[in-house]
Amino acid sequence: MIHQKFIFETPASITIQQHILQDQQRFPGASGEFSFLLSAITLATKKIQAKVRSAGLIDILGAHGVENVQGEIQQKLDVYANEAMIHCLASRPSVGVLASEENEQPLVMPHLSPSAKYAVVFDPLDGSSNIDVNVSVGTTFSIFRRPDGADFEDPNAWVLQPGNKQISAGYVVYGSSTVMVYTVGNGVHGFTLDPNVGAYVLSHENMKMPEQGSCYSVNEAYANNFPPEYGAFIQSLRDGALGHSYKSRYIGSLVADFHRTLLRGGIFMYPPNKTHSEGKLRLLYEANPIAMIAEQAGGRATDSNQRILDIKPTGVHQRCPLIVGSKLEMEAFEKLCQ
Ligand code: P6P
């Protein structure tokens, strides 16, 4: 009996939907609501990437003119990306509250479904100031379970939870390809969008951050205002204190700078500076999802005093210093800070 040779010699592609459903099987009796929620995020990011990819061709570049809650001029793609995330997530009855970098207050979903059990926090298009110069940008997201007793009167209660309460977190980096990286707390997996079929396909299974890298990433223009431990640490890297020399890479787009750190190892830092005494990055929708991914991949993330994931938020848009990276560099930095 001659076995039929398979047409496709390569292993079968697993799409993110299949992967989520496989993961769901670990929880007998799972309702599938969470998987359906994640599919809203994958759909929204496919819409966003389509606009990002054609930004130069259609009238979507440039500022939208309105100032957002951060006091930043909203780029048109920011507005589109925010609408896409809200539209896709609002159609999921399991989602009760949304918080976005682009909205001053959290949004209560109009369905007010008593069965809503999740809140989603996101930055629809992080690094958007880079859009007009064709530098990679990204979407970040963080998913919380509705706290016991939380109702729709107090949406802040749904989202002002420490990062260690995230049930899922991730990002999409719109770079040379569109890659979605996410975790549900049992490892980190990456999926590359196959434009031919419009599906995210598993490309980086069980991602692990190298224990040491050869690159540090910080905006050295602010070095004169860094707290002393940051400058001393960077100098130690330059002096080969960790066993080899380091190169510097800084894109100015958090998701892109972190994605490189996840893949290659090393350390990313956004310290306090003259303009931002608490650092520029936001805890809820930048530091928290990045920190969960980093820790799930074997790395670490602190604000120089404590784990990012242990910080109890007091405001949706609060900022924090972010130091995230490989075990060895992070241990060396933390030792310096003591
Ligand atoms: P700076 C983009 O505006 C962003 O919020 C992050 O994506 C990025 O890491 C940071 O700001 C860059 O800030 O001050 O170095 O330009």
DSSP string, 79-103: HHHHHHHHHHHHT-TTEEEEEETT-
If we measure between CA atoms, which residue out of 86, 193, 87, 80 comes closest to residue 128? 80
Probe ligand 1: pick from 68, 70, 78, 126, max atoms within 8 Å of CB? Answer: 126
> pLDDT tens digit string along 201-210?
999 999 999 9
Model confidence pLDDT, tens digit, residues 123-182: 999 988 888 888 999 999 999 999 999 999 999 999 999 999 999 999 999 999 999 999
Among protein residues, the one with the nearest Cα to ligand 1's atom 16 is 252
CA–centroid distance, residue 270 to ligand 1 (Å): 8
* Average pLDDT score over residue span 180-196: 95
CA 99 to chain centre: 14
How many Å lie between the centroid of ligand 1 and the Cα of residue 110? 33
Structural domains in the chain, CATH included, are 16-204 (3.30.540.10), 215-337 (3.40.190.80)
Return the pLDDT at 151.
93
Which residue, judged by its Cα, is nearest atom 9 of ligand 1?
254
In this predicted structure, what is the pLDDT of residue 73?
67
Atom number of ligand 1 nearest to Cα 273: 14
Give the type of residue at 296.
Answer: Q
The closest residue, in CA terms, to atom 5 on ligand 1 is 127
Two tokens at 300? 């670490």
Tell me the pTM: 0.93
Specify the ligand 1 atom closest to the Cα of 137: 7
Closest ligand 1 atom to Cα of 221: 15
Rounded percentage of the chain residues whose pLDDT exceeds 70: 92
In sequence order, what are the beta bridge partners of 73? 67
| pLDDT over 90, % of the chain | 75
CB atoms within 10 A of CB 11: 7
